[in-house]
């Protein structure tokens, strides 16, 4: 199997889905794995997901990006920040998972969360970022760096873009011209009725709603072949996830 760059969407504590799609994509040590963030908050295996990611970092070439939920769980683990919105949107399941976890394991997870990248640009000028960016100069010029794991305007703009608008037009979004391709998660494609990785212009969204009623997706960035788990809620029939 040739070397691939595989992009993995938002996991949200669904270790069973990750293990399932891992087998379906036949992921090997020859692949570069780019995880788009949001490893926690939703299903009950948040702690196990992070431990799994730490373990594969020793055997595979991985790039781990920071999602907004990863930022929030780091605040919980380091500052005991139990923001009510976070708790209501998946944080409760993560808190329950850490309830009987040793301090040593928590420290290992904190170290992992602190080493996450806000974005990644590869040798082919492809940008990988959890949510998006607002600055016309690119994510490195963001006045508020946290925007890269909170922004939704990039995705909303791409969704509404006239496909007939020429890239040479002065009206064409400058942000989309900076990179060959852009890969994001954060906003589930299911919100626009799509259950698979979806693209508009040169922007690809790999979050196919694993935290809700959707599947976890893995996309080959070169060929655009993709693999999906079963709908994650079917793998956790006694849980609600973020539904």
* 126-140 average pLDDT score: 97
E strands, the chain, in order: 5-8, 32-35, 61-64, 119-121, 126-129, 181-184, 198-200, 203-205, 217-220, 226-228
Helices (H) and strands (E) in the chain, counts: 8, 10
Closest Cα to residue 18, out of 49, 58, 42?
49
pLDDT for residue 140: 97
pLDDT at res. 2: 67
CATH number of the domain at 5-235, please?
3.60.21.10
175-184: per-residue pLDDT in tens?
Answer: 999 999 999 9
Instruction: Kindly report, residue by residue over 191-227, the tens digit of the pLDDT.
Output: 999 999 999 999 999 999 999 999 999 999 999 999 9
How deeply is 101 buried, as exposed, middle or buried, from its count of CB atoms within 10 A (0-12, 13-18, 19+)? middle
Which run of H or E residues covers position 85? helix 84-86
How far does Cα 161 stand from its chain's mean position? 23
What per-residue confidence (pLDDT) applies to 178?
98
Query: What's the pTM?
Result: 0.97
Mean pLDDT throughout 115-119?
98
Percent of the chain with pLDDT over 70: 99
Across residues 12-26, what is the average pLDDT?
A: 98
């Amino acid at each position: 199997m040739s070397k691939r760059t595989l992009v993995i969407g938002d996991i949200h504590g669904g270790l069973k889905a990750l293990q399932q799609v891992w087998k379906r994509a036949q992921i090997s040590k020859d692949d570069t794995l780019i995880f788009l963030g949001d490893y926690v908050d939703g299903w009950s295996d948040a702690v196990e997901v992070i431990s799994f990611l730490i373990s594969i970092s020793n055997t595979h070439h991985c790039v781990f990006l920071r999602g907004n939920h990863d930022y929030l769980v780091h605040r919980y683990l380091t500052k005991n920040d139990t923001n009510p919105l976070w708790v209501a949107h998946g944080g409760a399941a993560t808190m329950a998972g850490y309830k009987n976890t040793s301090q040593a394991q928590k420290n290992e997870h904190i170290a992992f969360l602190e080493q996450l990248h806000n974005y990644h640009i590869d040798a082919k000028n492809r940008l990988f970022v959890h949510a998006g960016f607002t600055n016309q100069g690119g994510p490195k010029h963001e006045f508020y760096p946290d925007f890269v794991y909170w922004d939704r305007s990039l995705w909303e703009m791409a969704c509404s873009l006239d496909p007939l608008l020429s890239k040479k037009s002065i009206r064409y979004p400058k942000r989309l011209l900076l990179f060959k391709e852009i890969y994001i998660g954060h906003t589930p494609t299911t919100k626009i009725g799509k259950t698979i990785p979806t693209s508009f212009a040169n922007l690809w969204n790999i979050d196919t709603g694993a935290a809700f009623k959707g599947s976890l997706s893995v996309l080959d960035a070169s060929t655009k072949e993709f693999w999906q788990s079963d709908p994650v809620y079917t793998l956790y029939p006694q849980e609600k996830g973020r539904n």
